[in-house]
Amino acid sequence: MKTILVTGGAGYIGSHTVLTLLERGYKVLILDNLCNSKLSALEGIQKISGSNPIFYEGDINNRILLGTIFANHPISGVIHLAGLKSVDESQSEPLRYYNNNVVGSISLLEEMLKAKVDAFVFSSSATVYGESRTTEYHEDMVTAPINVYGRTKLMIEDILRDISRVNPHLKIACLRYFNPVGAHLSGLIGENPVGTPNNLIPYIGQIAMGRLSRLKVFGGDFPTHDGTGLRDYVHVDDLAMGHFLALEYLECNPGMLVVNLGTGKPNSVLEMVATFEKVSGKKIPYDIVGRRPGDLAEYYANCDLARVVLGWQPKHGIERMCEDAWRFYSQLGAQSS
């Protein structure tokens, strides 16, 4: 049984990835500082899988803890999802983001190399592309992130590319996510951030539960069919499968692979609102407000490379994404009432 360390494994994408690995026979270790995640995710993983992953509460900048984890377990690969992830917050707290995301990743990589672990899957982001004249994003496009969060992701990709060049035995996959949404079919794990949500679907979910009152839709005058921005939303279970397939690919493929994970089918903000209203039976009040600096009218992933190289194919459309998200939020509301 192979042992995989998942940093950020109690978080939204991390918990679904851990579950996917457990269901496929891996032993999983989780390292998470719980700054944007909750122990309830671990309880959900246990209820769904019947397994209890070994959990370490701590930070990727804690070299002593990292060394202990690598020394005490026969780790064969690392999936690195830990990191701060708010675009807006990154702009106001850049040093915190560079320290946590970039310096923390260097700490993790150095301890991993000391332990002679050679497989590494990195949670990157479509934010590395920045603004572009084309709406379909390919992996070989120029990368020019326009915010601190995106720059931290690209810096880590560059670091990985450099260390793979001088360590040819390393096997690295960088997965550039687009917009993760949805939840596990059980409704036991999903996106439940600490504080006010930054992302669209958890914010809508909070409105549907009566915890927030109205949604702000940033920009109603984009050159799209309804005036709101078009984004590529992808089900979190499909993303989790992408991590598993990346690990499998790396077994026999040294070097560095960079792939997009999205659906290639953009949907507008108002389409997502209408779909959530349909599956939940709840009205989502919203106000159209001004665009945010740097907001794009439309972008989506070209996922040909992931399909050809990894055999990855997203299975779920936006109705299923919203259904699963609503199941999670409705159960969450019932627990807290």
Q: Are 193 and 261 spatial neighbours (Cβ–Cβ below 8 Å)?
A: no
**Which residue in 84, 67, 83 sits closest to 75, CA to CA?**
67
If you search the block for the tokens 């915010």, which residue do you land on? 147
Q: In terms of residues, how long is the chain?
A: 337
Phi, psi of 311 (to 5 degrees): 75, 25
CA distance 300 to 243: 20
Distance of alpha carbon 48 from alpha carbon 189, whole angstroms: 9
Residue with tokens 């496929």: 24
* Distance between CA atoms of residues 57 and 41, nearest Å: 13
The CA distance from 187 to 332, in Å, is 8
Long-range contacts of 161-170 (CB under 8 A, 24+ apart): 161/256, 163/109, 163/113, 164/255, 164/256, 167/113, 167/118, 168/254, 168/255, 169/118, 169/254, 170/118, 170/120, 170/254, 170/255, 170/256
CB 279 within 8 A of CB 319: yes
Which DSSP symbol is given to 127? G
Alpha-carbon Rg for the chain, nearest whole angstrom, is 19
Token readout for 217 is 């839709």
Kindly list the distances between the CA atom of residue 149 and the CA atoms of 13, 78, 129, 174, 271, in Å, as whole numbers in the listed order. Answer: 17, 22, 12, 16, 27
Listing DSSP states for 38-54 in one string gives -THHHHHHHHHHS---E
By annotation, the residues acting in catalysis are 149
